[in-house]
Amino acid sequence: MTSVQIARPQIALQAPTAEDAACCTPTGSGPIHSAEQAQKLASLLKALAEPTRLQLLSLVAAHEGGEACVCDLTEPVGLSQPTVSHHLKILVDAGLLTREKRGVWAYYTLVPERVSQIAAALGDFTTPQSS
């Protein structure tokens, strides 16, 4: 039997770069300087804006050694392994977790820099703008 690989579009959720800030129509003097920047931050926030995903991030961050196997995560969130794996994939695609396959299991680690990046972007809203 021939297996057909269907290429799935990769949604790259990259952090806003200097290029983003430099290009495009500025919409104001606030922390969001371009529509593209708003789009990227919104994509990252969307990956986070789901209760199970927030719980999974929390569990991984709190797990021994800062690393957790999908087998450690299904019971605490009370969901099936395919559902948990689906949520973990969204977090990995958003750069919030890294995934490493070892033996039969995949292990997940938090990317604290990515979370800090989002927190900092939100913090910019509350920082008085220089005129």
Which of 80, 100, 105, 123: binder of its own copies (CB under 8 A)?
123
Q: Compute and round to an integer the Cα radius of gyration of the chain.
A: 18
- Coil, helix or strand for 69? strand
Which are the contacts of 106, defined by CB distance < 8 A and separation ≥ 6? 69, 70, 85, 88, 99, 100
Q: Establish how many alpha carbons lie within 13 A of residue 95's alpha carbon, considering only the half-sphere containing its beta carbon.
A: 18
Of these, 10, 18, 51, 101, which contacts its own copies (CB under 8 A)? 51
Residue 17 binds to its own copies (criterion: CB under 8 A): no
Among 21, 70, 74, 76, binds its own copies (CB under 8 A): 76
Nearest distance from residue 128's CB to its own copies, in Å?
Answer: 9
- Binding of residue 87 to its own copies (CB under 8 A): no
How many C-beta neighbours within 10 Å does residue 90 have? 19
Of 4-12, 48-56, 79-87, 100-108: span binding its own copies (CB under 8 A): 48-56
Q: What is the dihedral of CA 42, 113, 57, 62, to 10 degrees?
A: -160
- Binding residues for its own copies, rule: CB under 8 A, are 27-32, 35, 38-39, 41-43, 45-46, 48-55, 57-63, 76-77, 110, 112, 115-116, 118-120, 122-123, 125-126, 129
